[in-house]
Amino acid sequence: MEYRQLGTTDLQVSTLCLGTMTWGEQNTEAEAHEQLDYAVDQGINFIDTAEMYPVPPMAETQGRTEQYIGSWLRNRSDRDRLVIATKIAGPGPEHLRGGNSRHSKEQLKEAVEGSLERLQTDYIDLYQLHWPARSTNFFGRLGYKPRENDMLTPLRETLEGLQELVQAGKIRHIGLSNETPWGVMRFLSLAEQHGLPRVQSVQNPYNLLNRTYEVGMAEVSHREQCGLLAYSPLGFGMLTGKYLNDQWPEKGRLTLYKRFSRYLNELGKAATAEYVALAEQHDLNPAQMALAFVTSRPFLTSNIIGATSMEQLKTNIDSHAVSLNEDLLKAIDGIHTRIPNPCP
């Protein structure tokens, strides 16, 4: 397993990070613990979760994923070797803080205390803002529309709230998620101007069907030492090929939850078919080729993999040993040129 520096910190994180958002919905507590044990044994030291998980988010399951991690952590003697990341939700979910979730000092403290209790740990290594508390484009939204007074919490106040939590020893470092170039640069600028915590990572979607991170964010990651934590590297499982030709596997996320349609448009299906065929031509597992591509990017810190079965997890983790040659990378870019970013 390869390890990379998390931003400007002294933390070295595995290039594969264990994603957890199915635990408590599609996976039981025992299955979550089995995944954790196996991943750590394979060299993964980075685990990502969120107060909102599992997905789809519901009041009756909210926080269950963190609880599963906590019940596993309490029996470990190597907490200091693990990097645990979680997130505070942005505005939207009605079941979180009365539907009025903000990144204010008060709500940051409340959210962190809740996560610490569920995780059964004294500190969080990387605390992330799950999505912006302002009006902007994320989760695939296009067509930016300016709005007046849409900054629900001033960014400086958010950083000051995070600083208090760092000083209290409850979080070590901070990151962003579903952010824009403007948002990242503004957070970095405020931190430098006022001696506040520096953003160390950005968790945004990135995969063969959505390489929009390369347009503006990749340069920010490179020049500002604020690397990508790539989520949905398989496009909700689409890039495994299991949904091609109108197949709907019984336990597949896109089969179970019709709300997740981002990767199901016709261009996405056409591009997926070409990527799967390309992998097979090179005697590669399509999922491993897709994951290896993401991991190979120079602006990436860690690639967040998730699985609902041990077979899937083993396949995904084994992608760390897959190397893509120049001819294959050129062929991937050829498909991307003809069908660019079909699922932004």
pLDDT in tens, 294-341: 999 999 999 999 999 999 999 999 999 999 999 999 999 999 999 999
Q: Give this prediction's pTM.
A: 0.96
pLDDT confidence of residue 258: 75
pLDDT confidence of residue 23: 98
What is the chain's alpha carbon radius of gyration, rounded to the nearest angstrom?
Answer: 19
* Domain spans of the chain, in order of start: 3-137+152-237+301-321
CATH number of 3-137+152-237+301-321: 3.20.20.100
Q: Which of 3, 38, 53, 206 is catalytic?
A: 53
- Do residues 32 and 72 touch, judged by C-beta distance below 8 A? yes
Q: Rounded to whole angstroms, how far apart are CA atoms 308 and 314?
A: 11
Angle at 279 between CA 278 and CA 282, to 5 degrees: 90
Helix (H/G/I), strand (E/B), else coil: 273 = helix
Position 13 confidence tier, pLDDT thresholds 50, 70, 90: very high
Average pLDDT over every residue of 35-62 = 97
Position 99 confidence tier, pLDDT thresholds 50, 70, 90: confident
Does residue 67 register a pLDDT over 80?
A: yes
- Do residues 234 and 287 touch, judged by C-beta distance below 8 A? yes
Position 140 confidence tier, pLDDT thresholds 50, 70, 90: confident
Q: What percent of the chain has pLDDT over 70?
A: 100
Q: Rounded to whole angstroms, how far apart are CA atoms 156 and 149?
A: 16
Known catalytic residue: 53? yes
Average pLDDT over every residue of 224-244 = 96
Position 260 confidence tier, pLDDT thresholds 50, 70, 90: confident
Does residue 246 register a pLDDT over 90?
A: no
Helix (H/G/I), strand (E/B), else coil: 30 = helix
pLDDT confidence of residue 250: 79
Range with the poorest average pLDDT among 36-50, 54-68, 85-99, 114-128: 85-99
Q: Which residues pair with 305 in a beta bridge?
A: 18
Average pLDDT over every residue of 128-142 = 91
Q: Is 98 exposed, middle or buried (0-12, 13-18, 19+ CB in 10 A)?
A: exposed
User: Could you tell me which residues come within 8 angstroms of residue 341 by beta carbon, excluding any fewer than 6 positions away?
Assistant: 209, 210, 211, 212
